[in-house]
Amino acid sequence: MSLKKRLRIVITGATRGLGQALALGLSELGHEIYGCGSSEVNVEALQKKVPRGKFDVVDVTNEKSVAKWASIVLGHGLPDFLINNAAVINKPARLWEISEKEFGHLMDVNIKGIGNTIRCFVPSMVREKKGIIINLSSAWGRSVSGGFAPYCATKYAVEGLTKALALELPKGMAAIPLNPGIINTDMLQTAFGDGASGYHSASTWANSAVPFILGLTSANNGVSLTVP
């Protein structure tokens, strides 16, 4: 497909759910996709689906792992879009019933993971005053629900972190907290059970999300947005 511009797009958590849907949709438009996932099996499966992309096993909670990945990706050039999508959700339970291990894992993936990715990619982007950073938030980053206090806390943190980052970026860049909406993914099935089937699939969602994301610019810096 002929493009006005072939974009370089980095996606964390690209092997499942929304991340995979974005990787597939953006790749179909001819863009250059670099993604990561925590499972070697899932990374290999996605690589076969998107042979023109480049996907690696990365532990976003480990700065050294992210830094190694970033050095490879940045060797091909700066990303036009850096999409922090990797996230997990807790099993439904009251806050005091959630173990320290599960609570800590959510914080590590959903918040520390974004911090690590920003630390490893964004300095190079800032030097060139180039790039859009999209941190996936949630409706539960702007409202709450009982049974999911840790997840809500991380997504509220994503909103605050991203808005603060937006104030620190040079003109020409943007940091955007993006609520994807309610989509039938593994995470939604954890939250809603059978009720998740009443919502759009990730692939259907991507039909709207891909053009919406590609339309974001520095004018959207610091604005909490939702995929229509």
62 near 161, Cβ under 8 Å? no
Q: What gap in Å lies between CA 32 and CA 27, rounded to an integer?
A: 7
Closest CA to 174 of 215, 121, 133: 133
Q: What gap in Å lies between CA 150 and CA 134, rounded to an integer?
A: 21
Q: What gap in Å lies between CA 22 and CA 42, rounded to an integer?
A: 15
Q: Active site residue: 34, 151, 156, 199, which one? A: 151
Say whether 34 is catalytic. no
Tally of CB atoms within 10 A around 70: 25
Tally of CB atoms within 10 A around 97: 10
Q: What gap in Å lies between CA 149 and CA 170, rounded to an integer?
A: 34
Query: Which residues are identified as catalytic?
Result: 151
